[in-house]
Amino acid sequence: HCPRDPSLEARPMRAPTRESREARAKRRRAELRTRAEDAGRDTFVDSSAPIARYFNATRTMLKQARVYQAEGRLSDAYVLYWRGVTFYADRVMKHARYCNLQGPVTQLKSSCQGEVIRATDTLKDLGEELERLYEVEEDKSDAEAAAA
Q: Which residue has the higher pLDDT, 11 or 72?
A: 72
Range 75-99 average pLDDT: 94
Separation of CA 33 from chain center: 3
Cα 87 from Cα 80, distance rounded (Å): 10
Q: What's the pLDDT at 22?
A: 83
User: What percentage of the chain exceeds 90 in pLDDT?
Assistant: 64
Instruction: Name the residue among 101, 121, 97, 123 with its Cα closest to residue 110.
Output: 101
Range 38-63 average pLDDT: 93
Window from 15-19, 26-30, 44-48, 73-77 with minimum mean pLDDT:
15-19
- The verdict on pTM exceeding 0.75 is yes
Q: Which residue has the higher pLDDT, 67 or 4?
A: 67
Q: What's the pLDDT at 11?
A: 52
Instruction: Name the residue among 49, 65, 67 with its Cα closest to residue 105.
Output: 49
Cα 125 from Cα 129, distance rounded (Å): 6
Q: Which residue has the higher pLDDT, 145 or 137?
A: 137
- 2 pLDDT more than 50: no
